[in-house]
Structure 1
Amino acid sequence: MSHANHPSDTALIVVDVQPDFMPGGPLACHEGDAIVPGIDALLRARRYRHVVATQDWHPREHVSFAANHADRTPFAQITLHGQPQTLWPVHCVAGTPGAALHPSIDWTSLDLIVRKGTDPAVDSYSAFRENHGPGGTRPPTGLAGWLRERGVAEVHVCGLARDVCVLWTVQDALALGFRAHMLWELTRPVTPASDDATRATLGLPSPPQEQLE
């Protein structure tokens, strides 16, 4: 069956589909591996003129790793650059197999890879802007300009994790003037307990009750 292409002003952003976020990885998302076949099929269908992938790519000494803070455990909260910061298990260390783009996906349609979290002192969730750094600024990744130069006005976002990096990417896209849509079924959260808050943040309706049972 043929697929109608999306308008040329629409790009797909695939966020952090990496083995370390899959079941068995150090920062496993709930059912994270369930989205791999769907994203692979979507990329193989060549429905988007522009496809961008983000890749967590941390130095081992990254400030967000609980292991780099004495007496702190993963998922503890600290204040970093004046903002709340979750401490994470060591994950997606640059150059390790767990940081690779997932090998079961055909990535040949990619136009751009945005590696984020490379600064050891600043965490980075969104594809568009890093988290708050020194001085309270959120440095841009350059993606917004790259998309605008190619006439992109709308982005569709999928990947991991629904409640963190995917959500921040959608929020930043909207704040930067793009139309943005989360491909909900092609995302998974760190924990399903966050889904109600994510829906509320994006103004999405709650699912029918039978889907919750």
Structure 2
Amino acid sequence: MPRQARFPVMHPDTTALIVVDLQPDFMPGGALPCHEGDAIVPAIDALLRSRSYRTVVATQDWHPRGHASFASAHPGRQAFEQVELHGQPQTLWPDHCVQGTPGAALDPRVDWSAADLVLRKGTRPQVDSYSAFRENHGPGGSRPATGLAGWLRERGIDEVHVCGLARDYCVLWTAQDAAAAGFRVRFLWELTRPVAPDGDAPTRSALEAAGIALG
């Protein structure tokens, strides 16, 4: 049985919750399953139903067919191989979270009525997007902003708590970019799961290096 996640009853109005990519394709049996990805669903649903956060953001991986991050878009390549894309290393993934497919929906077991914003990412055919705050490197080497940082600041947010999938990719990058943007960040470890457990040690090291608190 997974350890029961604990969370405070209420947070200040200046704290937002970001739920990253809680989608069927990242669950066991999905196109790109995370290790025990479904184990966090009940606790995240309970957290949203508790209305403990005044501001809640849900991110949604939302790729067009033939996306550049898909192994199928690179003849002769296999999923989980690395290639160079726009001068940066790019992991190739199985086709996943294709726009309009059931696997790309927000998990139907969660009450999303508490979400103030659903931010779709990975929508540009040639640019991957792990983080809620910035896309991955695109043409010219830049990492375009999604606009989330400004949206949160307009709402008076100065701290973000992050959870969801996958711990070692999209949740980690979201936390790192939030910290780089000047927000205080808490990484809700028990409400995340990795693509594979061997990613946990590097993830912990990256969070410590960024000064991100675990909660």
Which TM-score band applies after superposition, normalised by the shorter structure? over 0.9
Question: Which of residues 6, 10, 23 in structure 1 aligns to 2:15?
Answer: 10
Distance, in Å, in 2 between the alignment partners of 1:4 and 1:42 is 9
* 1:153-207 alpha-carbon deviations (Å, 9 max, x no partner): 0000000000000000000000000001110000000000010110111119xxx
* 1:90-138 alpha-carbon deviations (Å, 9 max, x no partner): 0000000000000000000110010000000000000000000001100
Match in the other structure for 2:127: 122
Distance, in Å, in 2 between the alignment partners of 1:131 and 1:16 is 16
Match in the other structure for 2:146: 141
Match in the other structure for 1:207: none
Question: Which of residues 186, 191, 195 in structure 2 aligns to 1:190?
Answer: 195
Match in the other structure for 1:209: none
Q: Is it true that 1:181 corresponds to 2:194 in the alignment?
A: no
Q: Is it true that 1:202 corresponds to 2:207 in the alignment?
A: yes
TM-score relative to the length of structure 1 = 0.94
Match in the other structure for 1:208: none
Q: How does 1:46-125 map to 2 (within 5 A)?
A: 46-125=51-130
Secondary structure of 1:118's aligned partner: coil
Equivalent pairs: percent with the same residue?
A: 73
Number of residue pairs the alignment of both structures matches: 202
Structure 2 residue identity aligned to 1:74:
A
* 1:45-90 alpha-carbon deviations (Å, 9 max, x no partner): 0000000000000001100000111100000000001100000000
* 1:132-159 alpha-carbon deviations (Å, 9 max, x no partner): 0001100111100000000000000000
User: Given that residues 9 and 50 in structure 2 are in contact (C-alpha distance below 8 angstroms), is that contact kept between their aligned partners in structure 1?
Assistant: no
Structure 2 residue identity aligned to 1:119:
R
Q: Is it true that 1:38 corresponds to 2:38 in the alignment?
A: no
Secondary structure of 1:114's aligned partner: strand
TM-score relative to the length of structure 2 = 0.93
Distance, in Å, in 1 between the alignment partners of 2:9 and 2:77 is 50
Distance, in Å, in 2 between the alignment partners of 1:105 and 1:152 is 24
Q: Mind listing any 5+ residue stretches in structure 1 that lack a counterpart?
A: 205-213
Match in the other structure for 1:131: 136
Q: CA deviation at 1:26?
A: 1.1
**Which structure 1 residue ranges, 4+ long, deviate > 2 Å from structure 2?**
none
